Amino acid sequence: MMHKIIKQLFFTIVVFSCLFATAQPNVHPQSEKYEWPSDPLVKQKLDQWQNLKFGMIIHWGLYSVPGMIESWALCSEDWINRDSSFTYDEFKKWYWGLKKDFNPVKFDPDAWATAGKRAGMKYLVFTTKHHDGFCMFDTKETDFKISNGPFKNNPKADVAKYVFDAFRKKDFMIGAYFSKPDWHSENYWWPKYATADRNNNYDIRKFPVRWNAYKQYTYNQIGELMNQYGAMDILWLDGGWVRPRETVNAEVLSWGARIPEWSQDINMPAIATMARKAQPGLLIVDRTVHGPYENYQTPEQKIPAGQLNYPWESCMTLANNWGWVANDHFKSSAKIIHTLIEVAAKGGSLLLGIGPKPDGTLPEEAVSRMAEIGQWLDKNGPAIYNTRTVKDFHQENIFFTQNQKLGLQYAMVLLQDNQLLPAAIQWKNHAAKKGTQIICLTTGETVKWKQKSGKIIITLPSSLLISAIKYPALSFSFVPAD
Ligand code: GLC
């Protein structure tokens, strides 16, 4: 037993620490192009989704058990280092075996949804299946699932169902993360051959029957999720290298991963038709595969350089990893709030990554930061939610948004830790209508302002200057001059 634990720990430390040192070809780049959907229901949902601005992506799977990088350690690419005293095959065997240790007896999806709601998040994306193929829903297609291990007799064994229900009850839009590649499937990584990298390990042109079986399996699993798990808003498809060969472009090549000569085409049109029949208006996010099934773009771990005039979302981790890893470094709530402000001013949404622990609870550091973010949004939310972009959206430490329906513009002033508040705040090019009020949303007070040489100058109320509370950002609402 002790030996096993030490070995587990060792794997975790070695695999994990080495992953950081390298450039990460597992990070999806931002797409170059965008195609607006034509289906009116999809357009409508997209517009609703663009109002939400802040979502939560939960990575929870086998990798959470030892607390290591999500799935990737299984992949034999040379940016992933392992200790040479363990063979690749040994590692794989150990990893697949984690299935018997995954028993999240404290799984409490209502607590997750409560934490998400408190944070001011409005939509959820949950990993139903990551690249390792381990299913967090009760699929009929494989036994490699949470509902078939030590957790199988738990009333919430069909984990995804309870996660979706809990967030739905709190009015979240619901998204299913699903990995197109499945490294556990014998029709993706055929055990007859070595598995050299992230791709399927046989020439699909030579073995079309095997690939067709894989396609059918993928179609069936997505079918289960779309038909048996309640109302679904987003199908978030990860693993962008699984795509028709003709869609391979410079961005894909920039990943640095090998792209095989054959086409890993899973027939998205058929999947989309089936999925939207079950879930009319469903947003499909086939990451980085431009066209009708990438309804919004998903730059990862970064914010695009400027505004984009189509729907997009930055997915970013709250800590350093998507899943739970012991002693991970958590970003500060101020950092996340600044990120959210910048993302909103550039017209996007922020999907923040949280990794629950193997017992089913959320890390305390995540819960406390989420509460702090929520406190800020409680007051300043109008400057973020339901907003769209304005021209000249950024001046020094100020970002601007607008709410067209309310006829208001917002200025959000980013403050650094321990920064003393200036007595006045000013900006140009965003004039306020004469005789109207400017309100500091952060405190709820009406502020004194004047307009001088094309600049708005706000005098901060003394209450704010002497306040002991340090705000990560102040926001102001104003009626723009016509
Ligand atoms: C990347 C990673 C994947 C992770 C996803 C989340 O695609 O490779 O492991 O789940 O980003 O955005």
- Residue with CA closest to ligand 1 atom 8: 26
Nearest atom in ligand 1 to the alpha carbon of residue 240 is 7
**How many angstroms is it from 6 CA to the middle of ligand 1?**
28
- Residue with CA closest to ligand 1 atom 4: 322
d(CA 320, CA 42): 33
Average pLDDT on 187-203 reads 97
Nearest atom in ligand 1 to the alpha carbon of residue 59 is 10
**How many angstroms is it from 313 CA to the middle of ligand 1?**
14
Give the DSSP H or E segment for 317: strand 313-317
Q: What does the pLDDT read at residue 408?
A: 98
**How many angstroms is it from 242 CA to the middle of ligand 1?**
14
Q: What does the pLDDT read at residue 15?
A: 43
137 half-sphere exposure, CB direction, 13 A CA radius: 28
CA-to-CA dists, residue 156 to 137, 151, 327, 387, angstroms: 10, 8, 28, 37
For the chain, what is the mean pLDDT? 93
DSSP letter for each residue of 263-291:
-----HHHHHHHHHHHSTT-EEEETT--S
**How many angstroms is it from 300 CA to the middle of ligand 1?**
8
412 pLDDT band, cuts 50/70/90, is very high
**How many angstroms is it from 406 CA to the middle of ligand 1?**
37
Evaluate whether 376 touches 353 at the Cβ level (below 8 Å). no
Residue 18 has pLDDT above 60, yes or no: no
24 pLDDT band, cuts 50/70/90, is low
Please give the model's pTM, rounded to 2 decimal places: 0.94
By most ligand atoms within 8 Å of CB, the mutation choice from 16, 70, 312, 313 for ligand 1 is 70
d(CA 337, CA 384): 10
The CATH 3.20.20.80 domain(s) of the chain lie at 2-383
Q: What does the pLDDT read at residue 66?
A: 95
Q: What are phi and psi of 3, to 5 degrees?
A: -60, -40
d(CA 411, CA 477): 7
Q: If 0-12 CB within 10 Å is exposed, 13-18 middle and 19+ buried, where does residue 24 land?
A: middle
DSSP letter for each residue of 52-86:
H-EEEEE--SGGGTTT-SSSGGGS--TTS---TTS
Chain segment 139-164, per-residue pLDDT in tens: 999 999 999 999 999 999 999 999 99
Residue 250 has pLDDT above 90, yes or no: no
> Hey, what CATH topology would domain 2-383 get?
TIM Barrel (3.20.20)
Evaluate whether 308 touches 352 at the Cβ level (below 8 Å). no
By most ligand atoms within 8 Å of CB, the mutation choice from 15, 28, 72 for ligand 1 is 28
d(CA 304, CA 350): 12
Residue 1 has pLDDT above 50, yes or no: no
Question: Comparing 458 with 20, which gets the higher pLDDT?
Answer: 458
d(CA 33, CA 421): 41
The binding-site residues of ligand 1, defined as CB within 6 angstroms of any ligand atom, are: 26-28, 59, 70, 238, 300, 315, 322
Chain segment 323-339, per-residue pLDDT in tens: 999 999 999 999 999 99
- List 457's β-bridge partners, or say none: 426, 450
Q: 3-state DSSP call for residue 340?
A: helix
Chain segment 344-380, per-residue pLDDT in tens: 999 999 999 999 999 999 999 999 999 999 999 999 9
Which CATH architecture describes the domain 394-478?
A: Sandwich (2.60)
By most ligand atoms within 8 Å of CB, the mutation choice from 132, 300, 318 for ligand 1 is 300
**How many angstroms is it from 476 CA to the middle of ligand 1?**
36
Beta strands in 180-312 (DSSP E): 234-238, 283-286
- Residue with CA closest to ligand 1 atom 1: 27
- Residue with CA closest to ligand 1 atom 5: 238
**How many angstroms is it from 127 CA to the middle of ligand 1?**
10
Q: What does the pLDDT read at residue 3?
A: 52
d(CA 186, CA 184): 6
By most ligand atoms within 8 Å of CB, the mutation choice from 72, 179, 238, 286 for ligand 1 is 238
Chain segment 113-128, per-residue pLDDT in tens: 999 999 999 999 999 9
d(CA 482, CA 476): 18
